[in-house]
Structure 1
């Protein structure tokens, strides 16, 4: 089920990238709420401020990086043009097999979705999603994924494997940029000297860590620590950018 080395080399460039909606709020504060960032602008913002972006930003950036290495790929999405939209990327391997590359949900690595391809399995697997085993079921047109977490909790997601028209995809990305939803930051973290990967998440005034040992809620900031300081420390985003974004969300009644 593992992706090709060529795909993985590109994927690993994003290992330290959070998925976050704080950049969106920061852009709103700067009057850029209707302007979809170019990938070059995303690179510049990350270099200066440690930002990355939401699932659309990350998908567009990943597409650019994959194509720069000559890897065939295309965007996919769910509920595009709505408040609940999600975006990801399909990359093709050496034999044309398709791998789901979902930076928006902070997958550890891409996963094979083509039934009949060498290595495809529908058995539960570890090492692909932080804090959960996953199982894929695909007919080649749609893929269903089960997320099996400690304690027996399960959730599911469905992906349409057909390419989304890229003009439509960018239009959906611009629409998502124009919306201010709840503040959200997700980040894969290495712990235990790099031997384990967990999923850290901040959402709407609370943070938690999901791992293979269960879900752990973090206490609220105490003493000199603020939410901006904790989010900055966990995500690598400039503290001033984080605070500006949180102020925007608070002013909109979303925090």
Structure 2
């Protein structure tokens, strides 16, 4: 999940800033890039549709810098699964009240560098608790109400037209016997693992971050350089 593509494509001069899935796939093939949470959700919805899986977008704080969107997919029994690529979840998680396996229990393997709990507020609202290795607990409230596609696309277009001044890049990386979370934000990096948070490099050298992000993701170096230059 990253905002490099947003800044890069914003300056291409197109009237429509939210790319369709076909164009995202073309860019992926050419540059290796992906996009922000709206891009990832739109692409995931298309993949579910192609596979015959019922799914819909959910989100919060549309038309603001804090907007976030994810996807809910249904199994053959109508059970809902949260799929949040934007926040780098490792796999979908069942969010029904009758889930006796891990509702209200701390579980591993769903989110990098944290145990999580699913707490049901009501039929359409859940709260996720993230338990970090240092004992810190953060919370996130999800509204599972489906968002109409036109509302989703309006929110996406707004987001792509508002480039946050600090570059962000997040990815999942292998670390020992787990999948960790590597983040580059505003010219410094962090690695979140089950052992705790490891602070990484801090420099305003674009060349350094081009090499680092390329190493982590395989993104084309020329693309990374052009994208990061938009933030300078």
Please classify the TM superposition score into its range, dividing by the shorter chain length.
over 0.9
Deviation per residue, 1:207-254 (Å, 9 max, x gap): 01000000001134699961111112112211111111111111xxxx
Corresponding residue for residue 115 of structure 2: 133
What is the SS of the residue equivalent to 1:163? Answer: coil
Is the 8 Å Cα contact of residues 20 and 53 (structure 1) preserved in structure 2?
yes
Tell me if structure 2 keeps the 8 A contact 1:114–1:120.
no
Q: Residue 215 of structure 1 is aligned with which of 192, 197, 206?
A: 197
Number of residues paired by the alignment? 230
**Deviation for aligned residue 1:117:** 4.2
Among 21, 40, 43, the residue aligned to 1:39: 21
* Structure with higher strand content: 2
Match of 2:172 in 1: 188
Q: What TM-score, normalized by structure 1, do the two folds share?
A: 0.86
The 8 Å contact of residues 206 and 228 in structure 2, kept in 1 or not, is answered as no
| Runs (5+) with no aligned partner, structure 1 | 1-18, 251-255
Aligned residues: CA RMSD: 1.8
Aligned residues of 1:207 and 1:217 also touching (Cα < 8 A): yes
Higher relative contact order (CA 8 A, sep 6+): 1
Check 1:119–1:96 CA distance in 2 against 1; reply closer, same or farther (3 A cut): farther
Q: Which aligned runs of 4 or more in structure 1 are off by greater than 2 angstroms?
A: 32-35, 117-120, 219-225
Partners of 1:60 and 1:93 lie apart in 2 by 19
Instruction: Give 2:208's match in structure 1, choosing from 216, 226, 237.
Output: 226
Secondary structure in structure 1 of the residue aligned to 2:85: coil
Deviation at 1:161, TM superposition (A): 0.6
